[in-house]
Structure 1
Amino acid sequence: MRIGIVLLPQLRWSEDRTRWRRAEEMGFDHAWTYDHLAWRSLADEPWLATVPVLAAAAGVTERIPLGTWVASPNYRHPVPFAKDVMGLDDVSRGRFVLGVGAGGTGLDADVLGDPELTPGQRVARFEEFVDVLDLLLTQPVTDHEGAHYTVREARMLPGCVQRPRVPFVVAANGPRGMRVAARHGAGWATYGPGDGVGAGEEGATGAERYDAWWAGLGAMVRRFEQVASDAGRDPAGVDRYLNVDASPVFSLTSVDVLEDAVGRAAELGFTDLVVHWPRPDGVYAGDERVLEAVASRLDAIRAIGT
């Protein structure tokens, strides 16, 4: 089991650079940041841009893979974003991982004044978005005419450091999105059943609710395995990433809580677990001393998932 960590882009770089360096020094297997313009309950708090944060993180780390958790087409066009992806892969010397999802409603979806899309329309746009990104990142010149995007002689030189392109980790909870993961993903990512927040939200406690969340996650895993098989993809050949902090219990409440989550995730076939750097209050609130304790036991915690 690999253990990754999300660092929300809320701190000035003069302070945040230390956290990114520490994530690598602690031994986490990958490090991520959210790709939003503003996010949910933190919308009125500081929130910095994703691409420059990851570029700066690449400059203060040497080994740890870095990624978006997750980018969406809510406010991005695949052509300029593919340039950003190619650039991040270059400055990180081949350590960039593209986490990508359909995007939901709310702040990111409304900020440009675009008409609101139905869930089906969002997924259709997502399918085309990922298809076009794949084309852009695997060939020097791309033309495309689709329902959502037009691309004319888009040049992507010199191409990605990683070949044939950066790995995609495709976040999806429904069957159509899962088909995108099966078609394009080195990995499938999920936040499990529910709205994708869980930990730190009011009322998000209780052993029964926690067990029910894991049971619902198991059903989603079985759905993904069926979708992948139907698409001609061996489900065992797709890495599985879990945002465990979407559950009703914050994973870094204690070392024991994380160890329990790793064991449950491993039983469902997950290869990667993603936790969040503790915040002082609100969503993902926790104690950095627990993070330090987890870091000191990472090898033993990983071994639970073997």
Structure 2
Amino acid sequence: MFGRTSRRMHPSTDAPADAAQADKSEPATIEPLVKPVAPKKSSVDDLFAKLRAAGAETVASSVKTTKVKPTKATPTKSADKPAKPIAPIKPDAKLFEQRETALLPINEAVTKKIKRVLADEENSMLNYLQSKKAQVALEKVLPSVENQLQTYVESTSKELIEAAMSGAQSLSKSLKSDLRKKVSNTTVMQVMTKKLADEIVYPLRERIQKCVETSAGDAAEMSTLIRGVYREWKMQQVDKIVGDISRLAYSRGAYLVLESGTKVCWMVDPDGPPCADAEDNSLAGEVACGEKFPTGHEHPVIHSGCKCLVIPAPR
């Protein structure tokens, strides 16, 4: 009786023995105080369960197919009516006749002056060669490019400015004194100087260079070849290029009197030679003055024989 009571009164004395005995036995299963609640299956879980159980065909048959009615796209104006191609501006024969009438006396004067300069160059070279028996180099025969070009510029500038003024007056009714403020010597001759170099000075010097090379520096043979070159230029080449030179001056003057931003069009002369570049420019439609046409030009001329015009866009 006392032993029993003592065991109940002092339970801690038997704890080590009980613990050691518990270690040798299987671990006790501890029951949770709160039973876990099974998660409620969501509709998503149900769907996946159906997919696994029934297979794709069963589910497909149980799913109601919803037909989507195609919506009609509302056509826009641009879709209804395709953009109209740009039509080139209709040529005005009067404008071309007006230009040719104005340039006729100018062409005659420029032709005479260029031929006069050519004759002076030829005589100067031949006189020099007559006094030389040894081999002669090109730099001894011809003046420098700058000096030669300056001679042509000074000889023709008066007539080329006059051609530019005629072009300006074709588009403006302002007083001549007012037009000259825009159509100045500088603004015109900057363009015309390059034209004279490209059309006369550089090609001519190239021909003379060939004369020097062919003659191997022999003065007598060189003189004969040079005579032939200048004869060709005075009889044929000058007449071919004068029209291009004066038409460029005319177009330059007309362009200079237009206000910046003015819409202009490229007009092709129906009597001029066929030209794909001119057609491209005419099909460009309206271009703001100060900007360039597709060929990279602000105004004609763009090739040998070009007779196009640039005029303000019709309103």
* Structure richer in strand, relative to its length: 1
Common fold by TM > 0.5: no
Decide which structure has the larger Cα Rg and report it: 2
RCO higher in 1 or 2 (8 Å CA, sep ≥ 6)?
2
* Structure richer in helix, relative to its length: 2
With normalisation by structure 2, the TM-score equals 0.21
With normalisation by structure 1, the TM-score equals 0.21
